Amino acid sequence: MKRTFFFSQGRQSLLALFFLLGGMLLTADRLAAQSYNWMSESLALNTLEVEIDQQVLDLTNYTPGSTPYKNIMNHIIYYKHIHNGIEEGSTVQQAVDGSLAKMNDEFNTTSGMLNKTTLSLLYEDAVQLLTN
């Protein structure tokens, strides 16, 4: 009986530790996201339009279905989502964050679900593009 109690307490402690660490990670992400100096909405819209046009031009240099082609298409789709979000009244940060969730909608991906690494790279590229 004591063994069961010990293992039960151990599991509870591990579970509490897991939630504590998870909460700390979420808080750290929020603090990091809030520390960016985001562009104004009007400047972000202009920047996105120029970047999308450039990406479309770059797309012609690659074979459809190739890895670079898919990468550029993912950027174009993500930037269009961000652009639409800003036009609909979101702040730049809200549009960047909200658009990332839309990237794995079945109609937006170029080749199935995007993995976490790809989503992180898209997010980092958008932050770099849309911050001062």
pLDDT digits (tens, 9 = 90+) for 54-66: 999 999 999 999 9
Question: What's the pLDDT tens digit per position in 64-81?
Answer: 999 999 999 999 999 999
Q: The whole model's pTM is what?
A: 0.71
Phi-psi region of 89 (alpha: psi -120 to 50; beta: other; left: phi over 0): left
At a CB cut-off of 8 Å and minimum separation 6, what does 72 contact? Answer: 55, 58, 59, 62
Check pLDDT > 50 for residue 113.
yes
What is the structure's pLDDT at 59? 95
Q: What is the dihedral of CA 54, 58, 60, 63, to 10 degrees?
A: -150
Q: Give the mean pLDDT of 79-86.
A: 97
| pLDDT-derived band at 52, boundaries 50, 70, 90 | very high
The residue ranges of every structural domain in the chain are 1-35, 38-130
Give the model's pLDDT for residue 58: 96
Distance from C-alpha of 38 to C-alpha of 44, rounded to nearest angstrom: 9
Contact 130, 92 (CB under 8 A): yes
